[in-house]
A and B are shown apart, each in its own frame.
Chain A
């Protein structure tokens, strides 16, 4: 592990009880839900991680506690370092604190989390669906959401499939 990164990770371990491990040459630290905002604030202000590359989630269905891991990828331009933070979240009513106060681009990424996983960001200024249509049911990237398909409509099954198409009021 890089020396600078090691000292940063040690600070996170000391201040926020993070658990760090190295995998495939990358450093990952598990942080608890309460500490993620403070930890990212510290990363940005004290260690100059100016760029939040992405926020995403992994669904470990049928695990319940924790069901999700939220993955944050931070980058520091001045130090040329990359650090991944993971936050375990419970399956029932998943709620995370928003990072929009620290990084502005957390806005769309957290909307994506809500859209795709149904994980709510508390305190988010604009929590609407972003990629799926507004009236969509369910959260597609959850593991208990089936990978569906639409049956093609031919002459022989035209009427049968026509029955299941939306009509009248939406």
Chain B
């Protein structure tokens, strides 16, 4: 059968400036890795220039998962646009909503009740643990440690069950809303989270038993993909990848939001800047997250979970049947939305991957004029070519795992 398209001729013209002269002379080989490759964690395409098995140049090609989220959000009201934010970094959905709501709340100046703030923190930290579990499983799988993957995904399921318990959705929760959260957590929430707090420390010990001193794992990770703190900052790398190189830059600590200043936790860092250092940082971060969850749960305040400002937050369902005013508010909010004062704002949270920032510009109307997502994976991935030069393909696989990219986060 003939192909429906004439295949374009492969040429080096477009990328001539990115490869070495040896590639043009035919001495080195150009090899495609991805976009369909199990260890590129999604649809990342890497064009590798290889000398034998040694990487001379690595050219990432992204955009396969581009869904135009920024453009789409411009055409929706502030409440409806939030649903798009879940789809960015699909392993950190709560964190995306979190950043978006902080930005909107900064503009409309609404107070979030303390109970809602604490619930936000608990869920964001649970999500961080879940995201790190996916990273742990997949990056260990990349260096041929199969069993960790099975354990990590078993535990992640427990956290996804909690998200389903509170929001009705395992992944795309949209639970955090401007002015608070969607609704109060159910009574089973406390037990479910305590179950996590009781079981997880032992489980994390188990993962560490499997990996931390495992000679095969050490061989694949120690001294691989080194990056100094200066280099990392030049590439705009943030999050655990940066902290593995030294700086203790964590927005939860440095610019506390949503009451993070009340909780006692450490920011784990390492100085080596290699794959193993990032592994140690993330493992310790999971333990710190559990510490935060425990403190937040122990002093979870009672009270409302949404702001009382009816111009921003829709009224509860029970009021709509009895109060005309509530019905009008409900109708206005879900059709026209609320107006946001003119101006622009940049709000950032610490996502499992780094600084997740959202830039919103408002023209005074009910729809955002421009939304830009500063996604951490985008910057972290950009640093990849520098980390991989002169290493083997097998090391490249370990490094991609350690940078912890999510392609939904890169391509938006």
Judge whether A26 is part of the interface by a CB distance below 8 angstroms.
yes
Tell me how many residue pairs across A and B have CB atoms closer than 8 Å.
106
- Do B346 and A52 have beta carbons less than 8 Å apart? no
B62 touches A131 (CB 8 A): yes
Are B71 and A147 in contact, with the CB atoms below 8 A?
Answer: yes
Chain A neighbourhood of B378, CB < 8 A: 108
Count of B interface residues, CB-CB < 8 Å:
47
Contact of B209 with A by CB under 8 A:
no
Q: Is the CB of B370 within 8 A of A59?
A: yes
A contacts with B, residue count (CB < 8 A): 43
The digit string for B101-117, where 1 denotes a CB below 8 A from any CB of A, is 00000110000000000
Q: How far is the CB of B8 from chain A (nearest CB, A)?
A: 6
Residues of B within 8 A of A170 (CB): 5-6, 8
When A24-B106, A103-B236 are in contact, do A147 and B72 touch as well, CB less than 8 Å? yes
**Distance between Cα atoms of A96 and B68 in the complex (Å):** 24
Judged by a CB distance under 8 angstroms, whether B344 is at the interface is: yes
Question: Nearest chain B CB to A169's CB is how many angstroms away?
Answer: 5
Partner-binding segment picked from B43-51, B158-166, B329-337, B355-363: B355-363
Report which of B66, B107, B379, B382 forms a contact with A132, defined as CB distance below 8 A. Answer: B66
Which chain B residue lies CB-closest to A78?
B247
Chain A residues in 8 Å Cβ range of B247: 77
Report the Cα distance A54→B361, complex, angstroms: 15
Q: Of A26, A147, A168, which is within 8 A of B346 by CB?
A: A26
* A54:B372 contact, CB within 8 angstroms: yes
Question: Is A65 part of the contact surface with B, judged by Cβ < 8 Å?
Answer: no
A60 to nearest B CB, angstroms? 9
Q: When the two chains form their complex, are residues A52 and B372 in contact, meaning their CB atoms are under 8 A apart?
A: no
114-164 of chain A: CB within 8 A of chain B: 116, 125-126, 128-134, 140-141, 147
Q: Name the residue of chain B whose CB is nearest to the CB of A54.
A: B374
Q: Which residue of A lies closest to B66 (CB)?
A: A131
CB distance from B60 to the nearest CB of A (A): 9
* Beta-carbon contact of B345 and A26 below 8 Å: yes
Shortest CB-to-CB span from A53 to chain B, Å, is: 6
Using a CB–CB distance below 8 Å, which chain B residues touch chain A?
4-6, 8, 14, 17-18, 62-63, 66, 68, 70-72, 74-75, 106-107, 230, 233-236, 238, 247, 249, 254-255, 343-346, 348, 355, 357, 359, 361, 369-370, 372, 374, 378-379, 382-383, 411-412
Interface residue ranges, A against B (CB under 8 Å): 23-26, 28, 50-54, 56, 58-59, 71, 73, 75, 77, 80, 82, 84, 103-105, 107-108, 116, 125-126, 128-134, 140-141, 147, 166-170
